[in-house]
């Protein structure tokens, strides 16, 4: 603790001293801006807009060099090294990315987590081969709840649980680039959870020419996707252009019964004028319903393998019946990023946004007709029918969670000589409501009423519910960034300071809830310092010292969770403290025909929060279970190598060595488990990938292979999941113009080529799997984690064309 305080004080002192530096010559970048140079619009076969602002790539900017020419279909230009996996980076921190050169050749059903699985430090946990239900990931051993997700300047993850819903925000066909900042977030980004880094997604920009793009996909597991985008082109002399797109997808679960349907629409319009002035209007809406996958323990996996699924037929009492366990994810995102040149040396960047996400989540659960509880008291006779021998009735539990978030991130940038000063303010407000209900099902397993209608009530007419939550949150963030360039811009020094003030309060109206109301306030100072030096036009070295903070995740941290089977809460609110990270990096990169980057890193986390997902005992209700495991130390080295085009070939390699340990003993309730010095959970020692791309303009193909080492899943290191290897392949042919069709393309994607049978990630983490004696002599009972089953083989065929 003393060492960490000293490191924070040292960083703050560095920032303070740095702020006294002299101002010198002008710099043209805009560090607070969240957008990058406009990407080309896939499928139109013409060059991108000439009007693009040239922007520097600084430590406080998540920007990377992006391809702006579209010489082939789907936005492919074949100019990004490593087959689209290694765009040139100049930020003085570890940063990797992908462009349309790679994205366009992946399955159109892929999600963002799957697309970045080849990048160093990124470990993606697939749960279905086609990517429609979303995946989980870790970066340098920190899970997706500790990663910040930003789309066109908007924080898209759930602001309370931090779960990313990347597939609800943008269609893959409209995704221009993804940048991964391993370990440290952009100081100007609207985030308060990114202790593990940041993932920044950019949408393609509308074309200046009227046209469109059509893609049709079909494959295994009865998968299909239809996508259509219409480009308005420049609308008269208004300076406005835009696109509208719609897609429909449907599929069957790759294991077990069930499937899903998805409808999605994206819209983007841009107005540009003068020198560097622009306003964009973005809109997306997503509706998806799908059946859930059952997650096994290690013992269940060993016994049943992939056949461990929800039952496909219903009999009275079968709460696990597949059609009772599903979810519906609705999401709407509206944003208007704006950039104004107030004077030649003064720029204003403003991004207002609004997001609305709602369910319901649905699961099957048996409820006793005569012996249930409503909060802490008896529920009385519920007068249910279709009872089992034990007096239970099968019900469908419905949780129609409803969350609305609005916010604005604004930054003013002033340039004086070589010095650029940026001052910003971010405000956001979130309201979250959750009232779970139970509805009886008939003898065929069908709910007797639609979602949430005619729920089971107790004698006084109140709705029987395990939780009735109302949660509100306000965040206020201020940041100040100063960048100084010296030695003819070869030396760049950036210092910044960010402070977040977060206010949360939640109520639970279930009778007997204690506390009925819970409120927390958090304050976190976050200094950062970056330095980089250009050894040549192609070589760069950098160092940095960063801090980040993460407020406790999940509404379960603030409210009790009840269940009709128990008169006491089945989950108590945690007294979690904010997680705080202090990190240092040193790195080198070279770009040219061959591109190479390597970095070494060290992080110390206090109040490290591990958010796992587990089932409420005796139910199919999968909820977040946050735990404070104390301190954690993370050290390692990552590297990547990519070549430019060589006889139409472009290879790519990446790898990471990771050493992460737990710094404290784990509080198991009845005792402390001796976990100090143990390997941290979900931290594979080695991970890496190889890739090879071929594209001669007509025939193209990709091959990639990913290796992930074994991972511990308990803090005592008494249970682990095996290492695994997966590989994917793409084969395709791209034609020239045929009439009005531009670059018609036929593409085959093969996913998990060898159909490897594996567990891709722990879904939950526990203190110990086997009974263990604590440090005070008490025996702590073991509890096995549950796991995500890795997706099997899938084949997708796509036909696409611009017009």
Contact predicate 383/393, CB 8 Å: no
CA–CA dist 546, 476 (Å, integer)? 20
Q: Provide the pairing of β-strand 437-440 with 419-435.
A: unpaired
d(CA 379, CA 511): 11
In sequence order, what E strands does 173-255 have? 175-182, 197-203, 211-219, 223-231, 240-252
Answer whether residue 700 is part of any domain. yes
Number of neighbouring beta carbons within 10 Å of residue 747: 26
Domain count, the chain: 1
Phi, psi of 279 (to 5 degrees): -135, 130
Q: Which range is least confidently modeled, 29-33, 126-130, 455-459?
A: 29-33
Q: Does position 328 have pLDDT exceeding 90, yes or no?
A: no
Q: Which residue has the higher pLDDT, 745 or 573?
A: 745
DSSP string, 383-438: ---SB-TTSEEEEEEEE--EEEEEEEEEEEEEEETTEEEEEEEEEEEEEEEEE-EE
- For residues 230-248, give the mean pLDDT: 95
Quickly state the pLDDT bin for 28 (edges 50, 70, 90).
very low
What are phi and psi for residue 144, nearest 5 degrees? -65, -20
Least confident of 83-87, 435-439, 526-530, 618-622: 618-622
Domain that holds residue 173: 2-319+406-426+469-492+524-802
Least confident of 78-87, 302-311, 551-560, 584-593: 551-560
Evaluate the CA torsion angle 457, 459, 461, 466 in order and state its sign: negative
Give the per-residue pLDDT at 656: 98
The CATH number that applies at residue 695 is 2.40.170.20
Burial 480-507 (b: 16+ CB within 10 A, else e): bbbbbbeeeeeebbbbbbbebebebebb
Residue 533 has pLDDT above 90, yes or no: yes
What percent of the chain is predicted at pLDDT more than 90?
75
The reply to whether 59 falls in a domain is yes
Residue 726 lies in a domain: yes
Decide if 95 is inside a domain.
Answer: yes
pLDDT for res 468:
93
Judged by average pLDDT, the poorest of 162-166, 213-217, 279-283, 417-421 is 162-166
Domain membership flag for residue 458: no
- The average pLDDT across 175-193 equals 93
Higher confidence at residue 620 or residue 24? 620
On whether the CB atoms of residues 58 and 492 are closer than 8 A, the answer is yes
DSSP, res 100: H
Residue 31: its pLDDT value, please? 34
Q: Which of 33-37, 110-114, 487-491 has the lowest mean pLDDT?
A: 33-37
For all residues of the chain together, what is the average pLDDT?
Answer: 88
CA 57 to each of CA 292, 457, 585: distance values in angstroms, whole numbers, following the listed order: 42, 59, 18
What's the confidence (pLDDT) of residue 627? 83
Render pLDDT for 389-436 as a digit per residue (tens, 0 to 9). 999 999 999 999 999 999 999 999 999 999 999 999 999 999 999 999
Q: Residue 635 and residue 660: Cα distance in Å, rounded?
A: 6
pLDDT in tens, 580-628: 999 999 999 999 999 999 999 999 999 998 877 778 777 787 777 778 8
Could you tell me if 267 and 235 are in contact, meaning their C-beta atoms sit under 8 angstroms apart? no
Q: Give mean pLDDT, residues 107-127.
A: 94
Name the residue among 459, 482, 258, 268 with its Cα closest to residue 378: 459
Q: Quick one: pLDDT at residue 577?
A: 87
Tally of CB atoms within 10 A around 47: 13
Number of H helices, E strands in the chain: 4, 46
> Do the domain assignments include residue 66?
yes
Residue matched to tokens 């330095």: 531
Is a pLDDT exceeding 90 seen at residue 41?
no
136-155 average pLDDT score: 93
| Local confidence band at 4 (pLDDT 50, 70, 90 cut-offs) | low
**Is position 718 within any domain?**
yes
What's the pLDDT score for residue 625? 74
Give the per-residue pLDDT at 30: 35
Residue of 627, 615, 609, 504 lying closest to 561 (CA atoms):
615
Is residue 338 situated within a structural domain?
Answer: no
């Amino acid at each position: 603790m003393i060492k960490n305080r000293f490191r924070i004080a040292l960083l703050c002192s560095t920032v303070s001293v740095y702020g006294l530096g002299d101002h010198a010559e002008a710099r043209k970048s805009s560090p607070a801006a969240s957008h990058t140079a406009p990407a080309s619009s896939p499928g139109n076969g013409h060059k991108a807009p000439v009007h693009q602002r040239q922007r520097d790539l600084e430590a406080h900017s998540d920007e990377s060099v992006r391809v702006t020419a579209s010489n082939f279909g789907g936005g492919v230009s074949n100019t990004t090294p490593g087959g689209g996996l290694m765009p040139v980076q100049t930020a003085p921190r570890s940063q990797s990315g992908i462009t349309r050169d790679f994205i366009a050749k992946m399955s159109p059903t892929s999600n963002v987590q799957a697309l970045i699985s080849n990048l160093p430090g990124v470990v993606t946990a697939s749960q279905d081969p086609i990517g429609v239900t979303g995946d989980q990931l870790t970066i340098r051993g920190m899970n997706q709840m500790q990663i910040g997700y930003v789309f066109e300047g908007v924080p898209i993850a759930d602001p309370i649980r931090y779960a990313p819903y990347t597939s609800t925000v943008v269609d893959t066909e409209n995704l221009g680039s993804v940048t991964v900042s391993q370990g440290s977030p952009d100081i100007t980004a609207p985030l308060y959870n990114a202790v593990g880094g940041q993932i920044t997604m950019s949408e393609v920009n509308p074309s200046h020419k009227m046209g469109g793009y059509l893609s049709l996909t079909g494959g295994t597991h009865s998968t299909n996707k239809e996508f259509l985008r219409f480009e308005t082109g420049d609308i008269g002399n208004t300076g406005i252009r835009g696109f509208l797109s719609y897609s429909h997808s449907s599929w069957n679960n790759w294991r077990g019964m069930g499937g899903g349907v998805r409808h999605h629409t994206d819209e983007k319009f841009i107005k540009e004028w003068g020198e560097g002035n622009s306003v964009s209007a973005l809109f997306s809406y997503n509706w998806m319903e799908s059946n859930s996958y059952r997650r096994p323990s290690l013992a269940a996996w060993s016994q049943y393998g992939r056949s461990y699924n929800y039952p496909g037929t219903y009999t009275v009492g079968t709460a696990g019946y597949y059609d009772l366990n599903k979810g519906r994810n609705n999401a709407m995102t509206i944003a208007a990023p704006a950039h104004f040149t107030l004077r030649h040396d003064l720029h204003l960047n403003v991004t207002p946004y609004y997001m609305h996400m709602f369910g319901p989540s649905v699961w099957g659960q048996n409820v006793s007709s005569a012996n249930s509880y409503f909060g802490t008291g008896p529920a009385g006779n519920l007068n249910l029918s279709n009872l089992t021998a034990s007096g239970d009735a099968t019900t469908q539990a419905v949780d129609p969670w409803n969350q609305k978030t609005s916010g604005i991130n604004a930054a003013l940038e002033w340039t004086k000589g070589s010095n650029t000063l940026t001052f910003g303010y971010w405000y956001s407000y979130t309201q979250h409501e959750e009232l779970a209900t139970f509805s009886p099902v008939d003898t065929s397993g069908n709910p007797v009423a639609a979602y949430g209608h005619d729920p089971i009530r107790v004698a006084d007419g109140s709705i029987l519910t395990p939780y009735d939550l109302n949660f509100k949150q306000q965040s206020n963030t201020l940041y100040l960034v100063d960048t100084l360039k010296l030695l003819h811009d070869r030396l760049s020094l950036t210092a910044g300071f960010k402070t977040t003030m977060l206010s949360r309060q939640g109520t639970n109206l279930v009778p007997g809830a204690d506390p009925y109301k819970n409120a927390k306030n958090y304050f976190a100072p976050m200094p950062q310092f970056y330095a980089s030096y250009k050894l040549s036009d192609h070589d760069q070295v950098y160092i940095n010292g960063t801090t980040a903070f993460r407020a406790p995740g999940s509404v379960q941290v603030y409210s009790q969770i009840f269940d009709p089977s128990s008169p006491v809460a089945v989950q108590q609110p945690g007294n979690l403290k904010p997680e705080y990270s202090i990190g240092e990096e040193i790195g080198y990169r070279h770009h040219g025909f061959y591109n190479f980057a390597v970095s070494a890193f060290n992080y110390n986390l206090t109040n490290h929060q591990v958010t796992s997902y587990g089932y409420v005992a005796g139910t199919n209700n999968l909820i977040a279970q946050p735990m404070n495991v104390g301190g954690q130390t993370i050290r390692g080295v990552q590297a990547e190598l990519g070549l430019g085009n060589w006889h139409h070939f472009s290879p790519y390699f990446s790898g990471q060595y990771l050493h992460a340990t737990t710094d404290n003993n784990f509080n198991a309730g009845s005792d402390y488990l001796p976990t100090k010095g143990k390997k941290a959970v979900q931290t594979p020692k080695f991970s890496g990938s190889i890739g090879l791309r071929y594209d001669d303009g007509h025939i193209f193909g990709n091959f990639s292979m990913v290796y992930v080492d074994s991972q511990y899943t308990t803090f005592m290191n008494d249970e682990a999941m095996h290492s695994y290897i997966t590989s994917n392949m793409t084969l395709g042919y791209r034609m020239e113009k045929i009439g009005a069709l531009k670059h018609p393309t036929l593409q085959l994607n093969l996913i998990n080529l060898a159909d490897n049978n594996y567990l891709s990630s722990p879904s939950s983490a526990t203190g110990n799997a086997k009974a263990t004696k604590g440090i005070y002599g008490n025996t702590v009972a073991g509890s096995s984690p549950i796991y995500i089953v890795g997706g099997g083989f899938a084949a997708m065929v796509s036909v696409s064309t611009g017009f």
